[in-house]
Amino acid sequence: MLKRKMIKNFGWPLKTAMREIEVTRLYPEVMMELPENERGIHELDATTCIGCASCARVCPNSCIEMVHFKYGNPLKNKKMQFPQVDYGRCMFCGLCVDECPVECLKMGKKVTMAGWERKDIIKGPDFLATKRFSAKEVADLEAEAKRIAAEKAAAKKAAAKEKPAKEGNAAGSAKKKVDAKPAEGGAA
Amino acid sequence: MTNASEVLSSIQSAFPGAVLDSRVESDRRLWATIDSKKILDVCKHLTNKLNFDHYSGSAGVDWIARNEMEVVEIMASHGAHKVVAMLKVKTPRENPSVKSLTGLYWNANWYEREIWEMFGINFEGHPELYPLLLSDQLIGSWPWRKDFKGYPDLTTGERAVAITTPEGYTEYRFPPTPAEVEAGTVVAERPKYPTFREREEREIKSDSEMIMHLGPQHAMVPGPFLLDVLVEGERVKKGFLDVGYIHKGIEKIMENRTWLQGIVYTDRMCYVASLSNNECYCGAVEKILGLEVPERAQYIRVILEELSRIQSHLIGTGEFLTLVAGVGYAPWQYMIIDRERIISLIESVTGARLTHTFVRFGGVRNDLPDDFAEKCKTTLPYIKSRVNEFIELFAQDAIYQKRMENVGVLSAEDAKRVGIAGPALRASGVAYDMRVEDPILVYPDLDFKVIVGTKGDCADRVDCRLREILESIHIIEQCLDRIPAGPIKPEAKIPKKVPAGEAYYRVEDPRGEMGMYVISDGGDKPYRVKVRGPFYATLQTLPPLLEGVYIADVVAIAGSMDGCPSEADR
Ligand code: SF4
Ligand code: SF4
C-alpha cells in the first residue's frame, strides 16, 4: 500500500515537468512583463523639475547629487540643477519619487544599467530625462528669463529712485511677476 | 478577562512602593517603572499570579541626558489574557547593573547578553555573560550607547599586520593609529571572558566526543550562522550557536536616519518578510503620532501582508525540503515556481519584488492596480490547489514520514517556556497568533482560524505552515470582497518630527511574533528602535532541542524552524 503511494509520488515530478514551467530562464532573451508600478530606473521630467533637491535630501543612501543640465526650464529651475543618481548605491526604494513636490521624478520599467566601471552606472540627468526641451526652446526660455530679470532690475532701480513711494513700487513689481507667469506656462 | 489597570493595581497592592511610575496606555499595554530591587519579585508575581508566562524579550535604552540607563522587560501571556506589560528598570550610567531574569525565564539569556554587549549593562546573576552578536574587538566599546564615538575604520587591508601564532597559523591584526587612541575610539580595556571556541572545547569530556561544525556558510540557509554540535558516535550531546555573522546594527542605523528613511531599513532585516517589518515599524510610529489609517489602506496592508506570508511559507518549506532531501526529491523548484506568481502579484502593487518599502505612516504607497482582484482570482485558487497537493504529497510519503515524525519534538510546555513563536509554537498546540492576541488593522473583522498542530515535531511544523497558506488565501479572498473605496493616505501631511513618546507594536510575521519598541524624543529621528524578532527566539531554542538527536536530524530540525539569521542578527 505504502509502496504504491510512493510510486505515485515519484510520478508527480514527471507530471509537473510536462507543464510549461519556465520562469526566470527567459531572461535576457525575453524580458518578463513588468507591472505599471515597477520601480526601475528613474525618469526625470526636466521640463518641470524645479531643482529643489528634496529628492537628494530624503535619499537614505545619499545617491542623488544635483548637477548642471542644459535642457531644463530656466524659469523654474534658476540654477539649472538636476538630480544625478548613483545606481551603484541606489536601492530603488522610491522615497525620492514620493518626496518630489512637482511629481517630475518617476520610476519606470527600464531596469538594465550595467557598465564596465563604477562611474558608468552614475547616471546624470541626460540619461534620466525622458522629457526635455530642445536647444532652441531652452534659448527662448533663457531669453525670457533674461527679460524678466532685466524688468525686475529696472523696477528695482525705479524703486530706488522713488524712495518715498515705496509701497506703490512694491505692488508694481508684484504685478510684473504676475505678468510673467503666462509666458512661462506657455513655454512649458 | 484581565486588563492593564487590573495588572497594575495587583502589582501595587502586592508590592507597595515598587511601582515608581506607571502609565496605562490601553487595555492591552501597561508601562511601569519598577524599583530595581523588586523587579524579580514583581516578575515572579506576574508569572505565578497573573499568568504572564511569556517573557517576550528586553530592550536597553541609554538616557544620556538623564544620566541613567533603562532595561525594559517585555512580558506577555500565552493566551490567558492580552496585556503586554513593559516593565522598566533604571540604573545609573556609571557601572550600570540590574538583576538578571535568567533564573526565572530561560530565554532571558540572549536578550540580556545582547544588552550587555551593546550597552555595557551588567546583569547580576547571569550565568554566561558572553558576547552574542558583536565581534570580540568591539566588546568594551558599548556601541549602542549614545556617546559611542565610532570604531576605527579597520576595513582597509593596508593596516593589517601579519602575526604568526604559536600553532604556526598566520593571523592578521589591525592595530589602531595613535590618533585613534587619542580620540577614544579604541577600546581601552576589554572585558575578560572565554571565547566561543574555548567554551565549546571545555565541554569535550572524553576521547570519543568531537565537535562538528555546521555553517556558518550553508548552501541552502539564506543567512550565515554557526551551529557547532558536540557529537558522540551518531548522537548529538550538545549544541552551540554562534550568531552575529551578518549583524548590521540596523537598530543603531535607524537612530541616525529620519523617521521616513527608517522604513527602508526594516525591509533589509528579513527580505522574505519585509512587508510585515514595514508594518511593524510604521504601526509603532503611527501609535506615537496617534494616526488613524484609512480603511482602504488597512485592507491593502492586510492583503499584502498575507500574500507575503504565503510566499514566505512557500520558500521556507522549499528550503526545508532541500535541506532534508538534497536534490533527489526536492519540490523546492515547484514551490519557487509557485512563489513566483505570488511575488508578481505583490510586485504589481508595490513595484518591487522583495524590498517593498511599501507601508507608510498612516497609509500605503500605492493603490491596488485595477486588475489586481482579477489576477488574484486566477492565482489564489491555483496556489490553493497546489498547496493541497503538497499536503497530500507529504502525508502519503512513507520516507518523509519516517524522517520527520517524532523528530525534534517540542512539547507545549517547553515551547512556551523557551519563548518560541509563530508556526513552530503553534505546531506544539499553542494557539498563539498576534493577529488574534494583539489585533491590528482590520484583522478583528476577518474570519480565520489559528492553525495548530498536535505533536510539535518537524512534520507538524511544516504542515502548520502549509495549512496557514490556505488560511491566508481565505483572508485575502475576504478582503477582496470587502475592500471599500476611499483614500489610501491620511489627508494631513505627516510631520517631519514625531512628538515625544514610546510605543510597542506587535505583528504576526511569517515566522512569529515581531515586535518593535520605538521611542521618540520629539526630534526628526527615532531615539531608540528595538526590534524583537521572531527568529531570534527560535534560534535560541535550537541547542537544547538538538540534545540527544541523531546527526542526520540536525538539519531537519533546524530547517523545520524556517530560519532567517539576517533578522536574528539585525
Ligand atoms: S530610489 Fe531610494 S535609494 Fe534610489 S535615489 Fe531614490 S531615494 Fe535614493
Ligand atoms: S526631481 Fe523633484 S525633488 Fe528632485 S530636484 Fe527636481 S523637483 Fe526637486
Judging by beta carbons within 10 Å of its beta carbon (0-12, 13-18, 19+), is residue A14 exposed, middle or buried? exposed
* Helix, strand or coil, per DSSP, at residue B241: strand
> What average pLDDT does the segment B397-403 reach?
77
Cα separation of B404 and B397, whole Å?
Answer: 11
Predicted pLDDT at B326: 55
CB B54 within 8 A of CB B75: yes
Which chain B residues have any C-beta within 8 angstroms of a chain A C-beta?
257-258, 260-261, 264-265, 267, 333-334, 336-337, 340, 344, 347-352, 355, 357, 360, 365-366, 369, 389, 393, 396-399
Residue B125 zone, left/alpha/beta (φ > 0; ψ -120 to 50; rest): left
**Which chain B residues are Cβ-neighbours of A63 within 8 angstroms?**
none
Q: What is the pLDDT of residues B56-95, one digit of tens each?
A: 888 989 888 888 888 998 888 887 888 888 888 888 888 8
- CB-CB under 8 Å, B357 with A93: yes
* Helix, strand or coil, per DSSP, at residue B127: coil
For chain B, how many helices (H) and strands (E)?
19, 17
What DSSP letter does each residue of A65-115 carry, written as one string?
EEEE-SSS-TTT-TT-EEEEEETTT-----HHHHH-TT--EEE-S------
* Helix, strand or coil, per DSSP, at residue B71: strand
For B19, phi and psi rounded to 5 degrees? Answer: -90, 110
Predicted pLDDT at B152: 65
Question: Pseudo-torsion of CA B550, B552, B554, B556, nearest 10°?
Answer: -120
CB B453 within 8 A of CB B422: no
Predicted pLDDT at A128: 83
Interface test with A, best of B264, B281, B368 (most A CBs within 10 A): B264
For B200, phi and psi rounded to 5 degrees? Answer: -80, -30
A187 to chain B nearest CA, in Å?
A: 32
Q: Which of B86, B83, B85 is nearest to B59 (CA)?
A: B86
DSSP letter (8 states) at residue B564? -
**Which chain A residues are Cβ-neighbours of B351 within 8 angstroms?**
35, 37-39, 94, 107
Band (pLDDT 50/70/90 cuts) for residue B331 is low
Give the number of whichever ligand sits closest to the CA of residue A55: 2
Band (pLDDT 50/70/90 cuts) for residue B221 is low
Tell me the three cell numbers of residue B448: 480565520
Mean of all residue pLDDT scores within chain A: 76
Cα separation of A107 and A130, whole Å?
Answer: 11
Q: What is the pLDDT of residues B509-550, one digit of tens each?
A: 888 888 899 998 888 888 989 998 888 888 888 888 888 888
- CB-CB under 8 Å, B399 with A37: no
Q: Which of B443, B415, B418, B437 is nearest to B428 (CA)?
A: B415
Predicted pLDDT at B157: 61
Q: What is the pLDDT of residues B250-299, one digit of tens each?
A: 888 888 888 888 888 888 888 888 888 998 999 999 888 888 888 888 89
Q: Which of B351, B304, B323, B360 is nearest to B472 (CA)?
A: B304
What DSSP letter does each residue of B9-47 carry, written as one string?
HHHHHHSTTTEEEEEEEETTEEEEEE-TTTHHHHHHHHH
Predicted pLDDT at A180: 42
- Judge whether residue B31 has pLDDT over 50: yes
Proportion of chain B in helix, strand, coil states, percent, rounded to 5: 40, 20, 40
Place of cell 542644459: A70
Q: Which residues contact A138 (CB under 8 A, 6 or more apart)?
A: A70, A71, A72, A74
Band (pLDDT 50/70/90 cuts) for residue A184 is very low
Q: What is the pLDDT of residues B196-220, one digit of tens each?
A: 888 888 888 888 888 888 877 765 5
Cα separation of B480 and B171, whole Å?
Answer: 60
Cα separation of B217 and B214, whole Å?
Answer: 8
Cα separation of B276 and B564, whole Å?
Answer: 14
- Residue A107 CB less than 6 A away from ligand 1: no
Specify the residue with its C-alpha closest to ligand 1, atom 7. A59
Band (pLDDT 50/70/90 cuts) for residue A124 is confident
Q: Which of B304, B299, B309, B305 is nearest to B441 (CA)?
A: B299
Cα separation of A63 and B65, whole Å?
Answer: 34
The residue that leads in pLDDT, B480 or A27, is B480
H or E segment at B490? none
Question: Pseudo-torsion of CA B109, B113, B116, B119, nearest 10°?
Answer: -110
Tell me the three cell numbers of residue A78: 534658476
**Which chain B residues are Cβ-neighbours of A60 within 8 angstroms?**
257, 261, 264-265
- Judge whether residue B488 has pLDDT over 80: yes
H or E segment at B138? none
CB B300 within 8 A of CB B483: yes
Predicted pLDDT at A174: 44
Least confident of A4-13, B185-194, B436-445: A4-13
B547 to chain A nearest CA, in Å?
A: 32
Predicted pLDDT at A165: 52
- Judge whether residue A43 has pLDDT over 80: yes
Band (pLDDT 50/70/90 cuts) for residue A177 is very low
CB atoms within 10 A of CB B569: 24
Give the pTM: 0.84
- CB-CB under 8 Å, A35 with B393: no
CB B54 within 8 A of CB B433: no
CB atoms within 10 A of CB B196: 17
Cα B276 versus chain centre, distance? 11
> What average pLDDT does the segment A85-105 reach?
87
CB B279 within 8 A of CB B362: no
Tell me the three cell numbers of residue A50: 524645479
- CB-CB under 8 Å, A23 with B261: no
Band (pLDDT 50/70/90 cuts) for residue A175 is very low
Nearest CB neighbour to B351, from listed A12, A21, A39: A39
H or E segment at B389? helix B372-395
Q: Does the model's ipTM exceed the 0.90 cut?
A: no
Predicted pLDDT at A24: 58
| Rounded (10°) angle between helices B295-325 and B274-289 | 150
Q: Which of B450, B445, B456, B455 is nearest to B468 (CA)?
A: B450
Predicted pLDDT at A181: 42
Predicted pLDDT at A188: 35
The residue that leads in pLDDT, A85 or A131, is A85
- CB-CB under 8 Å, A6 with B351: no
Q: Which of B386, B380, B398, B405 is nearest to B457 (CA)?
A: B405
- Residue A56 CB less than 6 A away from ligand 1: no
CB B243 within 8 A of CB B539: yes
